[in-house]
Structure 1
């Protein structure tokens, strides 16, 4: 059996900022736009549990599904539990479903105190997470992974976090969801850019494989630019203090420089962490400005 450290590594902690960021951003909008001008902090914490649990569940489910297909037999990136043989496939699958269960319990509490139709949103989110690389025809193998990430770890996560606290729809939350979703996509894009050779050989037709290396590098840069534009839109809809969120470009620009500089294979691994921290910085800076305003 895998060690505790290997299980932690299998949960891919470098991706967890992508789960924290949408909750921060959505809570910032809720604090600015809420009925009493205040966020409902216990609901924000429940939303954070949902988001983190779903992220971990996706990571374990991806490890399991890619592992049993043999996609991870030759790895350039970090170790995978099933592909490396460190843990049995069944154990990794159970870990994924345990994480899905944690997300479900927290989501049920949010739905019970807000609106029951949120259960349908949660169910669709879980199905999208599983069928990313699971099932007979995983859509992640068809180049649609970025769509899922943008929708569920961007729009749904941010807008949903705001809604459960204010129980109102917010255009600022939608704009924030676009910014967060763009950077979450950028993480996946650079991950798939790194894996183009092995994914192509395994028949995994990610968007990066379909676009090719040059256009994938351009896509990464375009997503960082889109996130910057989203900061400006959020500021226009709320307070111009939100423009401090453009500070994320210190890290985002570094990632663009490395990607456009032609880094390949292991040279792209640091960009995953840099982009994740850039997304977290986007959320923290924008949310901080909205809370103070």
Structure 2
């Protein structure tokens, strides 16, 4: 794909990768559903959390596009979606500048959340932005050393859900600019609710890494799929799916919340995409599986949000 074939607005959309935004929105939705159920829903902190999460996701996408290209991890053999830096569609310096501007916008939105949630949100926000850059950039890129899965599980799952719940609860229960962690803002339920989102979000990366295993091995990108092979990555995918679909039963057992079982409606889609992941390695099959895992995350999150809220 050359410069002439893609308009600049379309190229920037490609670089931002809007198809990944469900991964940013899903944890916010779940945090809102749980806050609603607990009587601590707060509209403006929830909206700010959603916008901030989307900006961090887009900034991370720009960082991946830029650093994977300049470090040689993206090559002509890549089977995934087009990366604009590697393809020569947008100049590397422009993508890098867009990355910093997007993260700056996330920090700007975060200033309001720091006012609401205090020092804990300041710390979480700065670490999230730094990790978004460090995923593929910096002296020790997380994604190049098998730590990408941990990054996604923690930041796009656990911290994103618990952080969304925290800023709403802090807005309702505590004074602005708290130094410590106000009572009632960090709960076991918020942590448990984060696990399915963390699991399915990580599985998006697992599919990506299975698909790219051969190319990553030649370019020095040591993902878990490269380090341990297809079998371990497939076991990881199945284990994370099991975690996602077992978690709702915790709410049934501890809170008699049968609404939390609503995500089980998506189980047929989960089984279908898992069968593909267990049997295929080529991009022609795994690119659709990647999209289906993203759709599964979105559907699961919406149903889980409704289930928790009621």
Q: TM-score, normalised by structure 2?
A: 0.90
**In 2, distance between residues paired with 1:206 and 1:17?**
23
**In 2, distance between residues paired with 1:208 and 1:240?**
37
- The count of aligned residue pairs is 289
CA contact (8 A) 2:210 2:281 kept: no
Q: Deviations over 1:61-94 (max 9, x none)?
A: 0111011012112221110011111111110011
**In 2, distance between residues paired with 1:100 and 1:252?**
33
Q: For 1:137-152, what aligned pairs fall within 5 Å after superposition? A: 137-152=140-155
Cα–Cα, structure 1 residues 106 and 227, in superposed 2: closer, same or farther, change >3 Å? Answer: same
Does 1:249 find its partner at 2:237? no
**In 2, distance between residues paired with 1:86 and 1:160?**
36
How far did residue 263 of structure 1 move?
Answer: 4.3
Q: Deviations over 1:35-55 (max 9, x none)?
A: xx2511221111000110000
Q: For 1:20-59, what aligned pairs fall within 5 Å after superposition? A: 20-33=25-38, 37-59=39-61
Moved more, 138-147 or 3-12: 3-12
Q: What's 1:259 paired with?
A: 277
CA contact (8 A) 1:251 1:277 kept: no
**What are structure 2's unaligned runs of at least 5 residues?**
171-184
Q: What's 1:187 paired with?
A: 204
Over aligned residues, Cα RMSD in angstroms?
Answer: 1.4
Does 1:240 find its partner at 2:258? yes
**What are structure 1's unaligned runs of at least 5 residues?**
none
Q: TM-score, normalised by structure 1?
A: 0.95
Moved more, 188-197 or 209-218: 209-218
How far did residue 116 of structure 1 move?
Answer: 2.9
**In 2, distance between residues paired with 1:64 and 1:198?**
17
Among 108, 132, 136, the alignment partner of 2:135 is: 132
Among 235, 242, 246, the alignment partner of 1:229 is: 246
Q: What's 1:61 paired with?
A: 63
**In 1, distance between residues paired with 2:202 and 2:159?**
14
Larger Rg over CA atoms:
2
Moved more, 225-234 or 18-27: 225-234
Q: What's 1:275 paired with?
A: 293
Does 1:219 find its partner at 2:236? yes
**In 2, distance between residues paired with 1:103 and 1:252?**
32
